[in-house]
Amino acid sequence: MRYLVTGLCAAALILAGCSGTNTTSSSALPNAGGQSPSASRHGHWLPYNLVGTVVHHGLKQMHVEGPGDAPPGQRGGYYASEFLGSGIPAWAPKPNNENSPPVCTVSGQTYFVNGIAADQKGNLIVPGSDPSGYTSTIQVYQGPPVCPGGEQGPLLGTITDPYGQAVDAAAFNAGVGPIAVSEINYDTGKGDVVICTLASGTCSPPATSSAVKLWGAGVAMDSAGDCWLSTATRFSLGHPEGFQLIYWAGCTGNGVVATGTQNKTYGGLFIDDDGNLAALDAFNSMLYVYSGCKPSCTLVGSMQLIGNSFFGNLNGAGTRLAVGDVTSGSVDVYVYTPTALTYRYSFNNGLTSSDNVEAGIFSPSNQRTHYKK
C-alpha cells in the first residue's frame, strides 16, 4: 500500500523517492500500507517503483476451465484495486484464465485505494483516501452481481472515516451490519481499527493498542465480532518491515499481540471456511494460516505465492484464493486449502502494472459460513 507524503513530487522523482518522505533505492518494492510519519493533511501519494519478475517457485500451474466460483444461484466475479488507477475494474462471473477484459469499472470515489473487500452478500466495499483533504471514505456498492448489465451495483452509501487513512475492510453484510476498517490514525501515525456502518454514515472511535508500533494493513472480523489487524513493526531502508498481529475481543478496548505467528512482514488478512485466520506476508510472497489467535495462534499451514501480494480473499465456496500481485501487475488465482496452495492462473487484461495492483478479490466472499443469522 502507499502512504501520504508532504509536497508534490515530480514524476521523474518517483523512482528515487522525494524529500520529506521515507525514501528507498530504486530496487525497493512498494510500501505496504500507511502514512509517512511526516505526512501533512494536504499531502500527495507516492508509489515506489516495482522490480522483479514472476517466479513460480515450483508451484504447479493449472489452466483448467471449471464451473463458476460463485455458489449455486449467485452471480459472482472478480474485482481488483490499482492504487494509481481511476476505478475498480470487474471481470465476468467465471474463471478468467483466458485473460478476458473487464466487463466494467466501478467509478465512484475510487481514489488511492489500497485494500478492497466483498462480503458474503457480494456487496463491494471500497475504502479510499482523499489527497486534497484530511478525510477517508468507505463506499459500499450493492451485490451480488458484478456489474450487472455492464454497470456496477448501485451505491448503497458512503461512510466518512474522520479518524485516519482507511486501508482495508471486512464485513459479513455491509449493507446492514458493521464494517471493520483498518486505518492509519491521523494523530498517532499508527494502525488501528474502526467499526463503521451505513446506518450511521460514520465510524466508531478507534480500537487501539499500546502494542502497535507502526502502520496497519489487513483487517479481519469473525462472527463473534472479534477483530485482528496486521501491523508492521519497523522501517528498513525506507519501507515498513516486521509483523505483529493485534487481536481485539469484541473489537474494543486495548488490543493485545497474538502470539505464535511466523510472518516476517505484514499484509492482508482473511478468514477461511474452517475459521482459520490467513495472513499474507507481502514482502516475502508467503501465506500463513493460523487457528486460534485469541490471542494464541497455532500454525496450520505456510505456502509460497508467486509474487508480492498484499490483499485478497476466498471465493464463495472457500476453495479459490484471489490476490493482487504488485510484482507482475496481475490478479493471481490459486486452489486453496488451509495447508496447500495450487497456482491456477493469472490475469491482467485491463490492469496496468505501473498503477500498482494491490488487491484481487472474489465477490461474493466465503464468509457466509461464519455469518450470525
Walk me through the domains of the chain, giving residue ranges and CATH numbers: 4-370 (2.120.10.30)
Q: Which residues pair with 285 in a beta bridge?
A: none
- pLDDT at position 370: 54
Q: Which of 25-34, 77-86, 100-109, 347-356 bottoms out in mean pLDDT, i.e. has the lowest?
A: 25-34
Dist CA 57 CA 332 (whole Å): 14
The reported pLDDT for the residue numbered 83 is: 87
Residue by residue, DSSP assigns 168-218 as EEEES-TTTS-EEEEEEETTT-SEEEEEEETTTTEEPSPB--TT--S-EEE
Q: What is the per-residue pLDDT for 1?
A: 54
How does pLDDT run across 101-160, given as a tens digit for each residue?
Answer: 998 888 776 668 899 999 988 899 999 876 666 778 999 998 765 665 555 568 899 999
Model confidence pTM above 0.85: no
| 115 touches 218 (CB < 8 A) | yes
Q: In the predicted model, what is the mean pLDDT of residues 351-367?
A: 90
Q: Is the pLDDT of residue 85 over 70?
A: yes
Secondary structure element (H or E) that encloses residue 240, with its range: strand 239-241
Around 189, how many Cα atoms within 13 Å sit in the side-chain half-sphere? 15
Q: Specify the DSSP class assigned to residue 296.
A: B
User: Lowest mean pLDDT: which of 62-66, 360-364, 368-372?
Assistant: 62-66
